[in-house]
Amino acid sequence: DIQMTQSPSSLSASVGDRVTFTCRASQGITNYLAWFQQKPGRAPKSLIYAASSLQSGVPSRFSGSGSGTDFTLTISSLQPEDFATYYCQQYDTYPFTFGPGTKVDIK
């Protein structure tokens, strides 16, 4: 199975901050990488697919990059509604696997 790791596991930030977190795959997955946002008690929400394509309706402050094994998600200016946990997922090879998540909370 392809193992997904994320760093950091958590971070504290302020509204308006630029935040970046990373996701690494244990083997190359070209660009078959998605990012999801999950708030407490809610279903995950799709943000990014194909490593850098923005899901319809997602604000442009979210952006993704990377290919192969190393990927990043950037929020250019953190908004109050962005405090959540972010998961990456590879959909290159079955079984699809998720990273353990990065929790973003208020500093």
Those residues whose C-beta lies under 8 Å from the C-beta of residue 94, and which sit 6 or more positions away, are: none
Q: Which is nearer to other proteins, 16 or 95 (CB)?
A: 95
Q: How far is residue 36's CA from residue 16's CA, in Å, rounded to a whole number? A: 21
CB of 16 to other proteins, least distance (A): 28
CB of 10 to other proteins, least distance (A): 13
Considering only residues 43-102, where is the footprint of other proteins by CB under 8 A?
A: 43-46, 49-50, 55-56, 87, 89, 91-92, 94-101
Site string for other proteins, 8-47 (x = CB under 8 A): ------------------------x-x-x------xxxx-
Q: How far is residue 7's CA from residue 22's CA, in Å, rounded to a whole number? A: 5
- Fill in the DSSP letter of residue 31: T
Q: How far is residue 83's CA from residue 69's CA, in Å, rounded to a whole number? A: 26
SS3 12: strand
Residue ranges that bind other proteins, judged by CB under 8 A = 32, 34, 36, 43-46, 49-50, 55-56, 87, 89, 91-92, 94-101
